[in-house]
Structure 1
């Protein structure tokens, strides 16, 4: 099975690169800017023609949530127009596409986990651009799987875990929002799940049952404050500083972009349709902290 990944340095793309070493029977190709640029679709078309994949995977996105409020054109250019171009190029070559999206397509007003059929109502530019990307992919390529994920973290890149570790080293106590709830998702787990979804596709052949949106997120839900406390506790167990984490409200920490109060994603469809179950948060966070801190 040959998988072509758009991007190389994002948290998910980089995790896919690492996972390639432990994925027997899978050959990966990658394309990243400037050689492959979704804003210049011809570059992607040439790369796909050269590699000749079985499936195209698109984790590439404009992910600066707050900055997007001031740069809507850039966000929509990549998250909508670039996603459409990738899906169209794949469709023209008879290839399916796996596209990554986000929990930010929801407004966060629901009580309990969101399922794929719940109404979408993004509250900011980033969420709107990703939702329009989902719709564009579906129109451009009938053989598509959209994987919505949430609260992504990894041992590399910019993410909440690395930010908390840095702040804990600099400050005597932390103040973290405690009225936004979601499902932290480890990027290497996302990579493993994408490979499993692709294998399911390749082994069984295309079926309309596979198409559409599937939620791909960690199985455990907690607030940002709760997640921060887990991070600090895990860091302290590995020799890092142990600092108090005080709960605050969203109103105490205003940001340009509104965040969903509830970002929980149900993974029942992921479990039943693809047979994929992500590890518990404690296991994945421990793996991340081991890589970042080791056993000091």
Structure 2
């Protein structure tokens, strides 16, 4: 029967690894884009391809790498999106790139010319992005009570988090109104205790529509940012270290678990971690802060965008 499907895929990916090769040397081999020159890229590609191959082997019982078709890859992508494991266009685009690499590897290792990218693959990221934008417009903001309950539950249950990075991160989203992608890129030097604010810049606003700005904790205690900076110093962080060194998915996963536990698995349409920004907006608004200042602090160009976060009806939770 020959090698297993997984071993064949592993051999295919390894055949296009060229660590330490210069771009000039790779051009001699042909299309330089098909070669993997970074160990980190190789590790991530191998991880994604192994997950796909395992799923295909389990679902279709294939034994040979040459039998994999774009329709099998498409079914794998659909399963990931349907089950909620993939929620961003970036995840799909990265996987499609890895599938292209697998096709290169199959040709390099076994001599079979294979294009495994499904015909719908290139349009899927755009479709998912449009769907997320539509969902974002229907964001259900957290009430202040529910926001505090979610953060408290994460703090109680995430006992392996020694320094409380996750619950403090969610608290920061709630009190400063950051996007989660911005949260994960904040550096210690960006904390401004004198203004009780955080400077948002660089990768924190890249491709997110946000602006380099100062996000102000309008309704937080006056020493909130000072306490956050002291917490960073206790952990021995340097000025250029990240305050919340966790992935976006980590924060989203723990927020989702806490929310579902509170709601007893009755998820409200449009409810997500983005609702914590809505809690920030409503708290600042109730404190008498002008909508223009709140929108600027949240990274919105137009004041009207902030109205999508407005809590129109009082909720117990």
TM-score (norm 1): 0.23
More helix by share: 2
TM-score (norm 2): 0.21
Between Structure 1 and Structure 2, whose CA radius of gyration is higher?
2
More strand by share: 1
